[in-house]
C-alpha cells in the first residue's frame, strides 16, 4: 500500500502531462498556420503577406512590416493588416518560438531578432524598403533593425514601446516594475506542462483589454498557441535577454534621415489589472513621457499620446495608428535610398 501511495502522484503527473500533449496535438490540427514559412538559419518563421499585389507598384513604395510586442505575434494585430493591405503591402510575422514559428537558436536579444527579420524581408521583397510598425517590446527590434539596415528602412512607427532609459528612471523614482518576474514565467511553464493552465482556463497570451475586436477563431487559436511549450520558453528567453538589448540600445548614437512616428498610450498599464496599490497613474505618465525621447532619433519625428487609449493601440485606437503609418509613408517617399 505504501508503495502505491508513493507512486500515485507520479502516475497522476504522467497522466496529466500526457493529456496535455494530446490536447496540444488536437489544437495544432484544428488551428493550422494561416500563412507561409521561411527558414532563417535552422528554424522557420511563420509570416503572412497582405496586399501582395501592391508589390507591382514602384520600388520606391515601401512595404509595411508589423513587429509585435513581447509574448505576442501576428494574430495580435487584429484587423490592422487587412485594413492596411487595401492600399499597401503588409507583412505580419511571428518571431521565433511565438505563434506558429519554430523556436530559435542562440540569444533572443533585439539584435539577433533584427537579423532574423532582415533575412525574412530579403526573401519577400529584396529590393524594397520597409516601414517598421512596432508595438511594445517589438520597438527595440525595430530600432536595432533600423540601426543595422538604415538604407533598407523607410521609417519607424513606434507604438507604446518602452524607452531604454525608462527602467532606470522608474527605479530612481521608486516605481515598481509592471513586468512579470522570470520566476513567475518559469512557474507558469511548469504548470502548463501538466495541463494546469488549460484546466484553469488561463488565457496566457490573450490581451486583457476591453473590446479588443479579435475574431473568435483568431482568439481561440491565440489561446491554444499560448499553451505550446515553446511560447513560454520564448517569452522567458526574450525577457532574460532584455538587459543585453537595453545595453545595446543605450550604446547607440543613431540619427536617422527617415521619419519616425511615436504613439504612446494614455493608459499603458490598466489599474484593474495591476496589483493592489500599484501606482498606475505615476507609472503610465512616466512611461508615456519617456517615449518622447525617441524623437531625437530623427529630424522628422512626431510624438503623440493617444487620448483614451490602452497599450494595444492597434486594437483599440486603429484610426490613430493608420494615420501615423500613412504620415510616415508619405514622408518616407522622400527619404534617401542607398
Mean pLDDT, the chain, rounded, equals 90
What is the rounded CA–CA span in Å between residue 184 and residue 186? 5
In a domain, 162, yes or no: yes
What is the rounded CA–CA span in Å between residue 304 and residue 324? 10
Q: What is the CATH number of the domain that holds 293?
A: 3.40.50.1820
User: Taking 60 as the threshold, does the pLDDT of residue 34 lie above it?
Assistant: yes
- Using alpha carbons only, give the angle 99, 105, 109 rounded to the nearest 5 degrees: 80
**Percent share of the chain, pLDDT over 70:** 92
In a domain, 278, yes or no: yes
Q: Which residues on adjacent β-strands are paired with residue 261? A: 157, 302
* pLDDT bucket at 84, cuts 50 / 70 / 90: very high
In a domain, 16, yes or no: no
Question: How do residues 274-331 score in pLDDT, each as one tens digit?
Answer: 888 899 999 999 999 999 999 999 999 999 999 999 999 999 999 999 999 999 999 9
In a domain, 6, yes or no: no
Dihedral sign, Cα of residue 107, residue 113, residue 115, residue 121: positive
- What is the phi/psi pair of residue 86, to 5°? -70, -25
Give the three-state DSSP class for 219.
Answer: helix
* pLDDT bucket at 129, cuts 50 / 70 / 90: very high
Nearest CA to 268 out of 209, 319, 320 is that of 209
In a domain, 17, yes or no: no
Least confident of 154-158, 174-178, 232-236, 262-266: 174-178
Give the three-state DSSP class for 203.
Answer: coil
CA 203 to chain CA centroid, nearest Å: 17
Find the domain containing 141 and state its range.
Answer: 31-332
pTM score of the predicted model: 0.92
User: Taking 80 as the threshold, does the pLDDT of residue 27 lie above it?
Assistant: no
Nearest CA to 249 out of 114, 120, 135, 132 is that of 114
In a domain, 126, yes or no: yes
In a domain, 117, yes or no: yes
What is the rounded CA–CA span in Å between residue 269 and residue 280? 6
Instruction: Burial-class residue 105 by CB neighbours within 10 Å (0-12, 13-18, 19+).
Output: exposed
Query: 229-240 and 182-193 are packed helices; what angle lies between their axes, rounded to 10 degrees?
Result: 170
Domains held by the chain: number: 1
Q: Which residues on adjacent β-strands are paired with residue 135? A: 159
Residue range 185-212: average pLDDT?
A: 85
In a domain, 110, yes or no: yes
- Report the pLDDT value the prediction gives residue 80, as an integer from 0 to 100: 97
**Percent share of the chain, pLDDT over 90:** 68
- Report the pLDDT value the prediction gives residue 59, as an integer from 0 to 100: 78
Amino acid at each position: 500500500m505504501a508503495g502505491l501511495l508513493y507512486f500515485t502522484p507520479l502516475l497522476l503527473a504522467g497522466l496529466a502531462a500526457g493529456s496535455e500533449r494530446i490536447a496540444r496535438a488536437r489544437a495544432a490540427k484544428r488551428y493550422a498556420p494561416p500563412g507561409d514559412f521561411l527558414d532563417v538559419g535552422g528554424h522557420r518563421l511563420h509570416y503572412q503577406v497582405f496586399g501582395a499585389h501592391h508589390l507591382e507598384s514602384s520600388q520606391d513604395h515601401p512595404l509595411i512590416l508589423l513587429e509585435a510586442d513581447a509574448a505576442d505575434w501576428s494574430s495580435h494585430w487584429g484587423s490592422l493588416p487587412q485594413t492596411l493591405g487595401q492600399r499597401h503591402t503588409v507583412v505580419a510575422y511571428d518571431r521565433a518560438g511565438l505563434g506558429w514559428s519554430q523556436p530559435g537558436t542562440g540569444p533572443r536579444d533585439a539584435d539577433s531578432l533584427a537579423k532574423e527579420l532582415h533575412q525574412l524581408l530579403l526573401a519577400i521583397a529584396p529590393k524594397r524598403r520597409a516601414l517598421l510598425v512596432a508595438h511594445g517590446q517589438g520597438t527595440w527590434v525595430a530600432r536595432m533593425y533600423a540601426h543595422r539596415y538604415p538604407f533598407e528602412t523607410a521609417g519607424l512607427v513606434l507604438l507604446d514601446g518602452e524607452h531604454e532609459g525608462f527602467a532606470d528612471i522608474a527605479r530612481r523614482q521608486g516605481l515598481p516594475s509592471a513586468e512579470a518576474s522570470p520566476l513567475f514565467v518559469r512557474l507558469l511553464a511548469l504548470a502548463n506542462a501538466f495541463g494546469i493552465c488549460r484546466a484553469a482556463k488561463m488565457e496566457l497570451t490573450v490581451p486583457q483589454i476591453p473590446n479588443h475586436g479579435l475574431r473568435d477563431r483568431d482568439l481561440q487559436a491565440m489561446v491554444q498557441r499560448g499553451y505550446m511549450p515553446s511560447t513560454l520558453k520564448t517569452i522567458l528567453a526574450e525577457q532574460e535577454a532584455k538587459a543585453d538589448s537595453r545595453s545595446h540600445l543605450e550604446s547607440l548614437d543613431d540619427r536617422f534621415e527617415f521619419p519616425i512616428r511615436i504613439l504612446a498610450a494614455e493608459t499603458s498599464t490598466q489599474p484593474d489589472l495591476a496589483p493592489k496599490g500599484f501606482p498606475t497613474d505615476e507609472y503610465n505618465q512616466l512611461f508615456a513621457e519617456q517615449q518622447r525621447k525617441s524623437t531625437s532619433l530623427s529630424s522628422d519625428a512626431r510624438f503623440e499620446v493617444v487620448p483614451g487609449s490602452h497599450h494595444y493601440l492597434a486594437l483599440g485606437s486603429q484610426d490613430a495608428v493608420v494615420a501615423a503609418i500613412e504620415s510616415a509613408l508619405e514622408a518616407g517617399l522622400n527619404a534617401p535610398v542607398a
